[in-house]
Structure 1
């Protein structure tokens, strides 16, 4: 969602700020701005609605250069997208940028108005600027004023602040929203995402909940929520060497679709033995602790939630452990019954998803046996706060619609299923079969990617369509849900997914020649049941499109309506059938002419509720 970049150096940092904002564009935003400190120590602020390119144009007309500064991309929460609501916000010679939501902003605003402060925006962020300014009037000490203001804020925030009275200092803080400090040579930076700073550094200090810090040319000082000095280790960003360019691809999403064989290889690297999984990656006593698990709760949002739904079929079907899967935004607001010896699994691409993080923190008080995070970002809050972690090693994912993050989550969850089965000295033949299937996945996905020319032609049939149904059965029902989500995210076609057996319980009323029905038809034990569901669609004149196993005899189906995938082991079939649905969504979006990588109203990392 919103993005923050800050820097202090002995050179002009405006190009660093702008490049950082460009690298954060994938997160979704509606306006952008910078505030920099030139040599005369008077803050220069420039803001613009729209893309970062509009801010660059504004800076051409009103240059703002300096050695200290902050920048921001805003995704509107409080107040409409408009220049007066764009960050940075200013008050009494200070400027501030903010990610997150301040829940008590209305009460603070009323109090500050009584103190004589005038508001020029509808945002909760301007409240913070005036609050720090008010405490500074009282104390004359900027660090003390910053701390006093932080103590009054309720909600989530990542903050960066500069003040004309301290022209060589950059202040920052985090609570519920990510913020990292980047180390350079004689200069220092901060950002809400390490990707923003990879052009200048690959070494980062990840601030913990409640931390606040002061950056100068010489280094940084960090304090925890109690005001005690702490050290946060400098870590090298593992994906720093990966290119963030689209290369030969038209869009990041297409590049990331084609990166999936490599991403799965990287996720599995060092995790598989010849016929077993290497549970030691979870810790030296992992196998014994896995054997004690009697229940599993999986909590996630969006695409990650769909990965959890697939995992439920694997875990209950192979291991026999009851598995409950919930949307994090609902889970965190209800009373949860936690059976003895329950493992909580949280899944997130970024590791900063607000609702999923809140669920993990709730679990710390909820009597769980242990918590496990499945995530793509090693230094994220989710990874740092969980007892165990499984990293997916998908690399940077820039396209808002998740592709390789989803399939690597599925791979991690199948690995975990296999580890649970192995820990119980259960069906070791199934353990070996799972390992063999996982090893085959990269090559099988490469074969599925060869369907692109056929899918490109198929996508043209959606040019004038406004609604689509997706059908699947068993573990392929969540894959149908993911296919529907992808199509609606980037093509803006209304799409719904149903368990195919539910078709006759209502959705069949929608089926006619104008309603494409996309089905996933692997060769598994539910195939004959699915065939009868598809015949219901054909009988009503529906436009049926089927992704099917190449060994299936498609009676009555037109070759133009059926695309064949390799025959694979049932356990990895959901991963394989994800690929053509991603590709279909991408090419339909091209036909529709939408912004594939940055669909309207959406953000990559949802760090607010």
Structure 2
């Protein structure tokens, strides 16, 4: 009998390498957008907004923006801007608001952009996978050409839009080294996706006892950890949480016990500290998974080490290489639980109010 579950999600996860390459090529035609918006130093603050997955993307984008451009940037859920703007942004600043939405139809991001588009100190722009969308017509946009998806769950759209925003920042800041790093990430991506598929399948099929999933990340990987948590939660409805790596030790670690998978998205910036956290969780009985550029002798204690390559790359440039494994873990866990990754419970592809 042919498999009917996950027939949309599976090829979309597998297609993200092509989506990254297409985003890289597309960016060459959008230099004017970069100069007018992300590269425009007249803005006092650049705010990235989204809802759900797009908000987690915004967090990684803001972190990268601050690091690579040296300018002030922040991330907020879309609803914070149209409902609590005064708490989020003090008056008197020149603000660029960057809306993020795969479909360009999310009610909250559209309401946020519309709420400020006529204010004198605010400028709006966007990134999407649908050039015909409401948001694209409202705000000048970057387009991820192969990011569009049929599945409810965002996978290659997240990776391609994250990558595209990072590449736009590197171009805006004249960061030749970061642009080379991003190009290398594209070249590594196909092999990482293929390896992640097999690794996740073996992990989930080989460990049916895993019933609690925790994702840890810091810096630009904090948003990725939240997104990893959301992927498995959406697709499989299992118990899962995400935390800042060091923060997890301050109370939340009490939930760790046998049957808990702790997945660390390991940075090079804080590698030594983060490794110690993972070691501690192993001592508490967790099944420890580490995603890293390079295994190294310090990760030998872990139950699974998934290495992406590219250790010479910055943490930010390597970010999209960390996503295939966590997306496939969500996918295979859903199949294990008898759920259809294409149609998560209570969810629709576009959230409207």
Task: Give the TM-score normalised by the residue count of structure 1.
Answer: 0.54
Alignment partners' CA distance in 2, 1:594 and 1:409: 27
- Return the match for 1:598 from 336, 343, 353: 343
Alignment partners' CA distance in 2, 1:251 and 1:338: 48
Q: In structure 2, do the counterparts of structure 1 residues 247 and 345 end up closer, same or farther at CA, with 3 Å as the change threshold?
A: farther
- Return the match for 2:33 from 275, 279, 282: 282
CA shift for structure 1 position 304: 0.8
Q: In structure 2, do the counterparts of structure 1 residues 290 and 477 end up closer, same or farther at CA, with 3 Å as the change threshold?
A: same
Alignment partners' CA distance in 2, 1:378 and 1:298: 19
Alignment partners' CA distance in 2, 1:271 and 1:515: 41
CA shift for structure 1 position 437: 2.1
Q: Give the corresponding residue for 1:400.
A: 152
| Deviation by residue 1:276-317 (Cα, 9 ceiling, x = unmatched) | xx763428x638971322211111101111111011111111
Q: Give the corresponding residue for 2:165.
A: 413
Secondary structure at 2:118 match in 1:
coil
CA shift for structure 1 position 530: 0.4
CA shift for structure 1 position 335: 3.5
- Return the match for 1:542 from 286, 289, 297: 286
- Return the match for 2:74 from 324, 329, 335: 324
* Stretches of 4+ aligned residues off by more than 6 angstroms: 246-249
CA shift for structure 1 position 547: 1.7
1:358 maps onto 2:102 in alignment: no
Number of residue-to-residue matches in the alignment: 346
Q: Give the corresponding residue for 1:212.
A: none
Q: In structure 2, do the counterparts of structure 1 residues 289 and 395 end up closer, same or farther at CA, with 3 Å as the change threshold?
A: closer
1:443 maps onto 2:187 in alignment: yes
Q: In structure 2, do the counterparts of structure 1 residues 282 and 505 end up closer, same or farther at CA, with 3 Å as the change threshold?
A: same
Alignment partners' CA distance in 2, 1:256 and 1:475: 24
1:384 maps onto 2:159 in alignment: no
Alignment partners' CA distance in 2, 1:298 and 1:341: 14
Secondary structure at 1:345 match in 2:
strand
Alignment partners' CA distance in 2, 1:412 and 1:267: 6
Contact 1:271 1:281 in 2 (8 A): no
Q: Give the corresponding residue for 1:483.
A: 228
Alignment partners' CA distance in 2, 1:552 and 1:532: 14
Task: Give the TM-score normalised by the residue count of structure 2.
Answer: 0.91
Secondary structure at 2:342 match in 1:
coil
Q: Hey, which of these two has a bigger chunk of helix by percent?
A: 2
Q: Give the corresponding residue for 1:54.
A: none
Alignment partners' CA distance in 2, 1:504 and 1:435: 35
Alignment partners' CA distance in 2, 1:536 and 1:592: 29
- Return the match for 1:460 from 205, 212, 225: 205
Q: Which runs of 5+ in 2 are unaligned?
A: none
Q: Give the corresponding residue for 2:248.
A: 503
Q: Hey, which of these two has a bigger chunk of strand by percent?
A: 1
- The 5 A counterparts of 1:63-462 are 251-272=7-28, 280-282=31-33, 286=36, 290-336=40-86, 337-386=90-139, 388-422=140-174, 431-451=175-195, 452-461=197-206
Contact 1:287 1:419 in 2 (8 A): no
Q: In structure 2, do the counterparts of structure 1 residues 501 and 513 end up closer, same or farther at CA, with 3 Å as the change threshold?
A: same
Alignment partners' CA distance in 2, 1:446 and 1:542: 30
Q: In structure 2, do the counterparts of structure 1 residues 271 and 248 end up closer, same or farther at CA, with 3 Å as the change threshold?
A: farther
| Deviation by residue 1:548-606 (Cα, 9 ceiling, x = unmatched) | 22252245425x52222212411311111011111111111111110110111000011
- Return the match for 1:579 from 324, 328, 340: 324
Aligned-CA RMSD value: 2.4
Q: In structure 2, do the counterparts of structure 1 residues 444 and 556 end up closer, same or farther at CA, with 3 Å as the change threshold?
A: closer
Alignment partners' CA distance in 1, 2:299 and 2:167: 36
| Deviation by residue 1:103-153 (Cα, 9 ceiling, x = unmatched) | xxxxxxxxxxxxxxxxxxxxxxxxxxxxxxxxxxxxxxxxxxxxxxxxxxx
CA shift for structure 1 position 338: 4.5
Alignment partners' CA distance in 2, 1:288 and 1:490: 34
Q: Which runs of 5+ in 1 are unaligned?
A: 1-245, 273-277, 423-430
Secondary structure at 1:487 match in 2:
helix
Contact 2:182 2:318 in 1 (8 A): no
| Deviation by residue 1:238-272 (Cα, 9 ceiling, x = unmatched) | xxxxxxxx999961111011111111111121434
Contact 2:19 2:145 in 1 (8 A): yes
Which has the larger Rg? 1
Contact 2:16 2:156 in 1 (8 A): yes
Q: In structure 2, do the counterparts of structure 1 residues 333 and 433 end up closer, same or farther at CA, with 3 Å as the change threshold?
A: same
Alignment partners' CA distance in 1, 2:274 and 2:133: 41
CA shift for structure 1 position 472: 1.2
Contact 2:39 2:173 in 1 (8 A): no
Q: Give the corresponding residue for 1:562.
A: 305
Contact 1:418 1:434 in 2 (8 A): yes
Q: Give the corresponding residue for 2:297.
A: 553
Q: In structure 2, do the counterparts of structure 1 residues 373 and 540 end up closer, same or farther at CA, with 3 Å as the change threshold?
A: same
Q: In structure 2, do the counterparts of structure 1 residues 333 and 266 end up closer, same or farther at CA, with 3 Å as the change threshold?
A: same
Secondary structure at 2:235 match in 1:
helix
